[in-house]
Amino acid sequence: MHDDDTPFRTPVPTFDRPTLLSSCAQATTAEEARFRVQYPNAAPRSSRIVALDDGAARMMDDIIAEPRPAAHFLKVAPRQPDISPNEVVLLRLDGDEALLSTELAGADVVVLIATSAQGRRAAEIIGRVARAASVTTAGLIVTADAADDVVRMMRPVTGVLVVSPDADHLAAMLSALRA
């Protein structure tokens, strides 16, 4: 009848378990929360935030005031000399050029931001090269109208996708991810 007919057994209460300081009853109190070990339990992450188009670049400019030492903010350069099918020329905040291959080395996560399908070529290359290098990718699409073509562009190249009309999710996402 079903794909698995193993009976689902509900628990039988037993009353012989003593409550100790480490039992859930005690351990989940605010009092015991004080004894959680305090230490930094994750090394800083290094992230690359890439604006794929002009609208995305403007959003990026709005949030870079906050210091994020482990993040590199990058824009796709307007001119893309034909170096290699696996290369994209990016611009750092100071206007210096940087190659995708250089930026991906040592990156933990790449966040791609798009407001249109303008950055299709760059998105395709970054997604493909990041996947080959096992670097996690996340995408943020910021647009008020139906985003079919942008979704089609971003879905194959990102591991998780967020679609919102509001630019302020970018800052929230970066802080939440410690980017």
Partner 1 sequence: MLTKEVNDLLTQTTPGTPMGSMFRKYWIPALLASELPANDSAPVRVKLLGERLVAFRDSEGRYGLIDEFCAHRGVSLWFGRNEEGGLRCPYHGWKYDHTGQCIDVPSEAAESGFCQKIKLTGYPLVKIGDILWTHMGDKAERPPLPVWEFCTVPEEQTFTSKRWQECNWLQAMEGGIDSSHVSFLHSGSLKTDPLFRGAAGNKYNQQDRKPVFEVVDAPGGLFIGARRNAEDGQYYWRITPWVMPSFTMVPPRGDHPMHGHFWIPIDDENCWAWSFDYHPTRALSAEERQSMIDGYGVHNQYVPGTFRPLQNKDNDYLMDREAQRRGETYSGVWGIAMQDASLQESMGPIVDRTKENLVSTDNGIIMARNRLRRAVQALVKSGATPPGIDPAHQKVRSVAAVLPADAPFVEACREDLTVRPGVKQTSV
CA 165 to chain centre: 18
145 binds partner 1 (CB under 8 A): no
Give the per-residue contact string, 5-34, with partner 1 (x = CB under 8 A; - = no): -xxxxxxxxxx-x-x---xxx-xxxx-xx-
What do you get for the CA distance between the two ends of the chain, in Å?
50
In this structure, what token pair is assigned to residue 153?
């562009």
Contact present, 157 and 139 (Cβ < 8 Å): yes
Q: Which of 70, 83, 105, 160 binds partner 1 (CB under 8 A)?
A: 160
Do β-strands 89-92 and 71-76 pair in parallel, antiparallel, or remain unpaired? antiparallel
Q: Which of 67-75, 77-85, 122-130, 147-155 is the region at the interface with partner 1 (rule: CB under 8 A)?
A: 147-155
Region 52-81 residues binding partner 1, contact defined as CB under 8 A: none
Cα–Cα dist 32/157, whole Å: 44
Told to check if 134 binds partner 1 by CB under 8 A, we report no
Segment (H or E) for 74? strand 71-76
In the complex, which residues of this chain contact partner 1 (CB under 8 A)?
A: 1-4, 6-15, 17, 19, 23-25, 27-30, 32-33, 36, 41-42, 109, 136, 138, 146-148, 151-152, 155, 159-166, 168-169, 172-173, 175-178
